[in-house]
């Protein structure tokens, strides 16, 4: 799974900026979590996996508890998106674009057999959101998840 080293510095800078702008401290743990997420690019990983990766690849120690706390914070800052399949740990993905793009997050396909996760290009929500907004619903959030068997596993 190749990472895109060239995109990492700017993404990490974005994280630092978001933290300081919102008066949160730029700590080693938080940067380590950010790095782990950015390295996984568009994939969705669990807090546990993030924790593992930090332990393996970094000299920094970062408790699992801090991973959770950092992810919660990052989500508030719009840096990550969260999604969850039934009965499993939540998964987080780095959001490389603007935080207000609410359609970039929880749309993906996951194979029941090989666990492969594949992002879905489309966001089906836009139209429905409009019609709900028209009827007076506000603060809308949505989740859309698809499972099944991928071509390799069927």
Partner DNA sequence: GTGCATGCAAATCTTTTGCACTCTT
Partner DNA sequence: AAGAGTGCAAAAGATTTGCATGCAC
HSE of 103, CA atoms in CB hemisphere, 13 A: 10
When binding is defined by CB under 8 A, the residue of 14, 16, 24, 82 that contacts a copy of itself is 82
Task: Judge whether 94 and 41 are in contact, CB under 8 Å.
Answer: yes
Taking CB within 5 to 8 Å according to partner kind, which of DNA, a copy of itself, none is near residue 29? DNA
Per the CB < 8 A criterion, the answer to whether 61 and 44 are in contact is no
- Its sign, for the CA torsion 93, 98, 99, 104, is negative
Q: Which residues on neighbouring strands pair with residue 119, listed in sequence order?
A: 108
Which residue in the set 3, 42, 120, 130 belongs to the binding site for a copy of itself (CB under 8 A)?
Answer: 120
Is residue 89 within the footprint of a copy of itself (CB under 8 A)? Answer: no
Question: Which two tokens mark 68?
Answer: 């959770």
Under rule CB under 8 A, residue 114 binds a copy of itself? no
- Exactly one of 3, 55, 65, 115 binds DNA (CB under 7 A); that residue is 65
Residue 77 and residue 116 in contact, taking contact as beta carbons nearer than 8 Å: no
Angstrom distance (rounded) from CA 105 to CA 39 = 17
Q: Which does 64 bind (CB under 5 to 8 A by kind): a copy of itself, DNA, none?
A: DNA
Say which entry of a copy of itself, DNA, none residue 89 contacts (CB below 5 to 8 A, set by partner kind).
DNA
Report if residue 84 touches DNA, rule: CB under 7 A: yes
Q: What are the residues binding a copy of itself (CB under 8 A)?
A: 82, 84, 86, 90, 109, 112, 120, 122, 124-125, 127-128, 132, 135-151, 154
């Amino acid at each position: 799974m190749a990472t895109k080293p060239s995109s990492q510095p700017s993404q990490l800078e974005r994280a630092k900026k978001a933290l300081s702008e919102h008066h949160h401290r730029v700590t080693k743990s938080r940067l380590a979590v950010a790095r782990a997420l950015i390295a996984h690019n568009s994939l969705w990983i669990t807090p546990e996996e993030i924790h593992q990766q930090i332990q393996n690849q970094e000299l920094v120690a970062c408790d699992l508890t801090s991973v959770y706390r950092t992810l919660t914070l990052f989500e508030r800052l719009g840096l990550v998106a969260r999604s969850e399949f039934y009965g499993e740990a939540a998964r987080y993905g780095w959001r490389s674009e603007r935080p207000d793009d609410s359609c970039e997050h929880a749309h993906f396909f996951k194979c029941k057999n090989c666990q492969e996760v594949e992002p879905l290009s489309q966001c089906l929500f836009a139209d429905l959101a409009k019609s709900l907004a028209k009827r007076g619903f506000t603060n809308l959030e949505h989740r859309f998840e698809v499972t099944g068997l991928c071509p390799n596993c069927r």
